[in-house]
Amino acid sequence: MRLLRTPEDRFTDLPDFDYPALYADVDHPLDGIIRVGYVEAGPPDGPTVLLLHGEPTWSYLYRRMLPVLADAGIRAVAPDLVGFGRSDKPAEIADHSYERHVEWLRTFAFDALDLRDVVLVGQDWGGLLGLRLAAENLDRFAGVVAANTGLPTGDQSMPEAWWSFHDAVENAQVLDIARFVQSGCRRSLTEPERAAYDAPFPNEMYKAGPRAMPALVPTSPDDEATEANRSAWRTLTESDLPFLCAFSDGDPITEAMGPILRRAMPGAAGREHPTIENAGHFLQEDGGEELARVVAGFVRSLG
């Protein structure tokens, strides 16, 4: 596997994101050593929250949430998925698979950082991967916050808005990362913020990850990831793992998943599941502080 590494100078002067860059080596039996970038905020001995981003963002997406969580006494860990942010980037689209991304995350979180009693916060692919990770490592997790995400198996049809995004990525000669992020936000990103989302990708060669992800979502019952996702559903719906849904009020891609998760997950029963108002798909941009307060309250409720 040929890996690309974004030059560090691409990440200088990022607005509102002055956290030290941290790195962990993920040693995969087939892929070799891959460097994963991440940031942390909050006390090292506080309860741990794992913040997982999606497509085509990176940990910069959580900059509005990190200080709120840290002030609440929470250790917030925000990694960059392999192929995104400061993490190494496999150069070929074919290098990316659902299974590989789950394993890269598992190795990062549990082998490299040895995280325990973790509360997952997953949005977009952060949930698609994180819910699999939780189902396959239940003993490591204290709870889940699902935010504009789901766990598709290919047994149900995807919404038209998602197919529009899928086709736009597939057909783009030049993948405009910042434009795709802006299209999922209610607020207007500043030029420096747009530049921060473009920063991990100096040119098209670095964008195999963002180009690959839409095609990895299971869209038919015989998809490569379908059986593993079905198994994850069975595990999660038979578990009492505390589960909170915090979806926005303006995301046509994932809005149908919120009620399904609330009904299906035993750990969601009896909880008040908040709606983050005036927010789009990337609710961390539109309502990050509010979402962080929701997460902090959920962590406190777990004792």
Other residues' Cβ atoms within 10 Å of the Cβ of residue 7:
8
Residue 44, preceding bond cis, omega within 30 degrees?
A: no
How far is the C-alpha of 79 from the C-alpha of 56, rounded, in Å?
14
Note if 166 is an active site residue: no
Distance CA 151, CA 226 (A): 10
Residue 130: its H or E element: helix 125-136
At what angle are helices 125-136 and 226-237 packed, to 10 degrees?
70
Based on the residue annotation, tell me whether 124 is a catalytic residue of this protein: yes
- Among the listed residues 31, 124, 223, 286, the single catalytic one is 124
Q: Report yes or no: 76 and 284 within 8 Å, Cβ to Cβ.
A: no
Q: Which of 31, 88, 223, 251 is catalytic?
A: 251
- CB contact at 8 A, 254 and 149: yes
251 is catalytic: yes
**Catalytic annotation, pick one of 96, 223, 281, 286:** 281
Positions marked active-site: 124, 251, 281
